[in-house]
Amino acid sequence: MNVWLASRAAGLVAEVLLGLSVAMGIAIRARPLGRRVAGASVAEAHRVMALVALAALTLHGLALWLDRAVEIPLAALLVPGLSPYRPVAVGVGVAAAWCMLIVVATSTTLRRRLTAPVWRAAHLLAYPAFLLGAAHGIAAGTDARVPWVLGLHAGLIGVVVAATVFRVAADRPGQRAKRAQEGRVPATRVRPQESRV
- What tens-digit pLDDT sequence spans the chain (197 residues)? 588 888 889 999 999 999 999 998 887 766 655 565 556 677 888 889 999 999 999 999 999 898 887 888 999 999 999 998 899 999 999 999 999 999 999 988 888 888 889 999 999 999 999 999 999 999 987 787 889 999 999 999 999 999 888 888 877 765 555 555 555 544 444 344 433 33
List Cβ neighbours of 34 (8 Å cut-off, separation of 6 or more): 182, 184
Q: Do 171 and 30 contact (CB within 8 A), yes or no? A: yes
Of the candidates 192, 188, 139, 184, the residue with the CA atom closest to the CA atom of residue 33: 184
pLDDT digits (tens, 9 = 90+) for 92-125: 999 999 999 999 999 888 888 888 899 999 999 9
Amino acid in the structure at residue 120: R
d(C-alpha 106, C-alpha 103), whole Å: 5
List Cβ neighbours of 171 (8 Å cut-off, separation of 6 or more): 29, 30
| Cβ neighbours, 10 Å, residue 18 | 28
Rounded alpha-carbon distances, angstroms, from residue 40 to 11, 37, 81: 28, 9, 40
167-176 as b/e, with b when 16 or more CB fall inside 10 Å? beebeeeebb
d(C-alpha 88, C-alpha 111), whole Å: 32
What Rg, from alpha-carbon coordinates, does the chain have? 19
Of the candidates 94, 104, 95, the residue with the CA atom closest to the CA atom of residue 21: 104
Give the domain ranges of the chain: 3-195
Q: Do 53 and 193 contact (CB within 8 A), yes or no? A: no
d(C-alpha 107, C-alpha 92), whole Å: 23
d(C-alpha 80, C-alpha 65), whole Å: 15
Supply the pTM of this predicted model. Answer: 0.78
